[in-house]
Structure 1
Amino acid sequence: MRRAFKSGLFPLMILIPLVLTGCSDDGNPEPPPPEYPEIVDAVAERSHGRFTVTVTVSSPYDSSERWADAVRVLDSEHEPLHVHEFDHPHPTEQPFTRSIPDVGIPIDVTEIHLQARDSSNGWSPTTFDIDLDQPEIP
């Protein structure tokens, strides 16, 4: 009876698909990179009627081809109040933290939503929400 495969090629036929599908050393497939950056922490501090928003963004896929390129502050109705753009990727600084000073937030807004943007995929569908300590409106 004739063999369908030469003995030297059979191990390669098993190994090549594993390499091509991106399996890790333990045999599990490598997860694809996330589609969007994630805001992992943020605070908003009031000073002289304005806010400084400090945000920590995780985008472990950052490279010169694709990166977290902006964060925006949205009001309670998800309307943009401020957009802060990042000029370059942060591949060696993950997650990275930036302070966004002088953000104007109307006094009647009691919570804000932060949203990160990916340079290829656009705005993340998820937000990081912050309750604000606003003075009482008389």
Structure 2
Amino acid sequence: MNYAFQTKVSASFSDSMQLTIEALKAEGFGVVSQVDMDKKFKEALGKEFKRYTILGVCMPSYAYQAVAEEELIGLLLPCNLVVVEKEEDVTFVAAVNPMVTMQSVSNPALAPLANDVAEKLQRVIRTLAEKQ
């Protein structure tokens, strides 16, 4: 089982970020964190790096159910996506596969939640792929 769902987007980094956030919202996700790794590398290491952003996304109702069922599941939340600039007007977007993440948790009650979230994240990636 692959640990990520991924696609190439033929758009600028900024446009890809916008398209990604719109696709996430359409599936009910909210962005709860954004880490611009290229800026962090520049600040911390003085190193230049391609535009690379990690988005932490969440669906509050699913997160609530998961935390109610497995108190420490917050260690694996939120679901992460990356938006990576490959070259001008070519971006790569990938989302974590929550089914793989949840394999490390021995709580079968989480499987249906992880499956639902995985299906939604796959739809986000398919939506972006269709923008080609």
Tell me if both proteins adopt one fold, taking TM over 0.5 as the criterion: no
TM-score, reference length from structure 2: 0.29
Q: Which has the larger radius of gyration?
A: 1
The structure with higher relative contact order (CA 8 Å, sep 6+) is: 2
